[in-house]
């Protein structure tokens, strides 16, 4: 291990990013380094632990006086080196007004009190908010490229394409969550192979595991994702409407796990298609609740237009559920088409319906595919294996 590498800082961890928190929970078991998380609020995370240290942003004067930041501020004033860094930070910020610079320094004052060697941005585009901090401290950086920020965001704002390229040019290492996302980046951006690597999020297969269910006439399909346009729930609902009509002898129910501002749209489609007796929106669930629902599931569906690596599909496969999904980034890494599930091209509506119908009417096939799905996850996506690779990456980057 490089003796100079002691402290690693994570930026971009929040309460809604379960897959990121899962990684942090696992990595803290390894005592190689000190792990820090930059947070807005201590209470919004569920990974509070003696093995994780927190650097809190300052949001108010009360915050400044009550969180120990005041004493850190005194230490900064008494340190010539820290005062020099404050001056350099002020000078290096690309903001239009001095007031903005002062606000940013005040908010991140606690960063000046810890000697960080690596910053791991959980969303690579957060780099632009901390380039001043990186530059004055000569910190090594890793940026995670997760999906929609790369594939979708530039269509909403063309400036994002230029911003993404600038950040890619500055990061020391670029972490892609799937080989598909890496391939997309290399086709659309000027990328450096030597600074790029693929590392999967991974999953706790001891937690997300199958449960033997009593055979039932009831067929449960499950979906899990944010209620937004790219998850394409309306497509799934139209398919399900047809599925029910051709399987009148079966009880087919659909569980939808998730939350988001588009919930009214989902309710509209459910009502318009007269599916209120078949579809149930459960809202946002914690991991224990998600597992409970998955263990009652016969088939998992994903109709997303864009992903980086679908954590919900990974969870379902780990529980031993065959998945029927639309083809987007990362799906062919999670699913072996025809063996652990089915991957359907976006325009093949009839094929999607046929594959679902095939699984609904063939219990033996469901069980066989589900078994193979779990074996594939065990081989490729165990979180303990992924964390080992990530720690190796930290040591590699710190030695350069």
H helices of 306-348, in order, are 311-318, 331-334
H helices of 178-310, in order, are 179-188, 233-245, 263-272, 287-294
Mean pLDDT value across residues 36-57: 70
Q: Which is more confidently placed, 339 or 390?
A: 339
H helix or E strand, kind and range, residue 39 = strand 34-39
Chain segment 128-172, per-residue pLDDT in tens: 999 999 999 999 999 999 888 888 888 888 888 999 999 999 999
Distance CA 359, CA 342 (A): 10
Per-position DSSP letters for 364-375, written without gaps between them: HHHHHHHHHHHH
Q: What percent of the chain has pLDDT over 90?
A: 58
Give CA separation, 305 vs 310, 319, 336, 341, in Å: 11, 24, 19, 18
Confidence of residue 92 (pLDDT cuts 50, 70, 90): confident
Give CA separation, 142 vs 127, 195, 252, in Å: 9, 9, 45
Distance CA 36, CA 52 (A): 6
User: What are the structural domains of the chain?
Assistant: 7-202+383-398 (3.40.50.2000), 218-380 (3.40.50.2000)
Distance CA 390, CA 396 (A): 10
**Tokens 């047809």 — which residue?**
242
Q: Could you give the angle at which helices 80-92 and 69-77 cross, rounded to 10 degrees?
A: 100
pLDDT at 1: 41
- How many CB atoms sit inside 10 A of residue 180's CB? 22
**Tokens 């999967």 — which residue?**
200
pLDDT beyond 60 at 45: no
Residue 28 is encoded by which pair of tokens?
């803290």
Give CA separation, 76 vs 108, 135, 178, in Å: 13, 19, 41
pLDDT at 50: 58
Distance CA 108, CA 57 (A): 5
Distance CA 333, CA 345 (A): 15
Mean pLDDT value across residues 200-220: 86
Chain segment 93-122, per-residue pLDDT in tens: 876 688 888 888 888 888 888 899 999 999
pLDDT at 95: 65
Confidence of residue 180 (pLDDT cuts 50, 70, 90): very high
pLDDT at 123: 93
Q: Of 163, 168, 211, which Cα lies nearest the Cα of 370?
A: 211
H helix or E strand, kind and range, residue 116 = none
Q: Contact 363/343 with Cβ under 8 angstroms?
A: no
Whether the CA torsion 282, 223, 160, 38 is positive or negative: it is positive
Model's pTM, two decimal places? 0.89
Q: Contact 227/258 with Cβ under 8 angstroms?
A: yes
H helices of 108-250, in order, are 127-137, 148-151, 153-156, 159-170, 179-188, 233-245
**Tokens 């595991």 — which residue?**
209
- Range of weakest confidence among 147-151, 180-184, 207-211, 239-243: 147-151
Q: Contact 135/103 with Cβ under 8 angstroms?
A: no
Per-position DSSP letters for 40-58, written without gaps between them: S-GGG-S---TTEEEEEPP
Q: Of 322, 308, 312, which Cα lies nearest the Cα of 375?
A: 322
pLDDT beyond 70 at 47: no
Mean residue pLDDT of the chain comes to 89
Residue 173 is encoded by which pair of tokens?
């290492």
**β-pairing verdict for 218-224 and 299-302:** parallel
Q: Please, what's the b/e burial string for 209-220 (b: 16 or more CB within 10 A of its CB; e: otherwise)?
A: ebeeeeeeeebb
- Range of weakest confidence among 59-68, 114-123, 224-233, 241-250: 59-68
């Amino acid at each position: 291990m490089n003796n100079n590498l002691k402290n690693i800082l994570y930026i971009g961890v929040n309460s809604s990013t379960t897959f990121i928190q899962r990684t942090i929970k696992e990595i803290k078991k390894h005592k190689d380094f000190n792990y820090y998380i930059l947070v807005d609020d201590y209470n919004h995370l569920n990974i509070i632990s003696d093995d994780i240290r927190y650097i809190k942003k300052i949001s108010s004067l009360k915050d400044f006086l009550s969180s120990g930041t005041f004493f850190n501020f005194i230490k900064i004033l008494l340190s010539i080196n820290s005062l020099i860094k404050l001056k350099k930070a002020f000078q290096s910020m690309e903001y239009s007004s001095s007031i903005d610079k002062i606000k940013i320094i005040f908010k991140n004052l606690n960063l000046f009190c810890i000697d960080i060697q690596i910053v791991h941005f959980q969303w690579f585009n957060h780099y632009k908010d901390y380039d001043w901090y990186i530059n004055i401290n000569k910190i090594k950086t890793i940026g995670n490229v997760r999906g929609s920020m790369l594939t979708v965001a530039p269509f909403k704002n063309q400036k994002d394409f230029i911003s993404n390229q600038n950040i890619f040019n500055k990061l020391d290492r670029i972490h892609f969550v799937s080989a598909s996302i890496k391939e997309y980046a290399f086709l659309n951006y000027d990328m450096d192979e030597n600074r790029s690597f693929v590392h999967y999020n991974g999953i706790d297969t001891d937690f997300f595991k199958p449960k033997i269910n009593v055979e039932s006439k009831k067929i449960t399909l499950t979906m899990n994702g944010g209620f937004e346009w790219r998850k394409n729930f309306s497509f799934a609902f139209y398919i399900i409407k047809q599925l029910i009509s051709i399987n009148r002898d079966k009880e087919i129910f659909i569980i939808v796990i998730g939350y988001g501002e588009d919930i009214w749209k989902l309710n509209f489609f459910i009502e318009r298609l007269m599916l209120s007796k078949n579809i149930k929106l459960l809202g946002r669930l914690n991991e224990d609740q998600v597992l409970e629902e998955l263990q009652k599931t016969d088939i998992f569906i994903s109709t997303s237009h864009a992903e980086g690596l679908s954590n919900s599909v990974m969870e379902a496969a780990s529980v031993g559920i065959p998945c029927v999904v639309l083809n987007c980034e990362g799906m062919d890494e999670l699913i072996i088409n025809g063996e652990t599930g089915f991957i359907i091209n976006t325009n093949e509506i009839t094929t999607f319906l046929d594959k679902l119908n095939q699984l609904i009417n063939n219990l033996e096939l469901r069980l066989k595919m589900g078994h193979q799905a779990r074996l594939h996850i065990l081989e490729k996506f165990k979180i303990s294996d992924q964390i080992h690779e990530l720690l190796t990456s930290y040591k590699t980057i710190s030695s350069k």
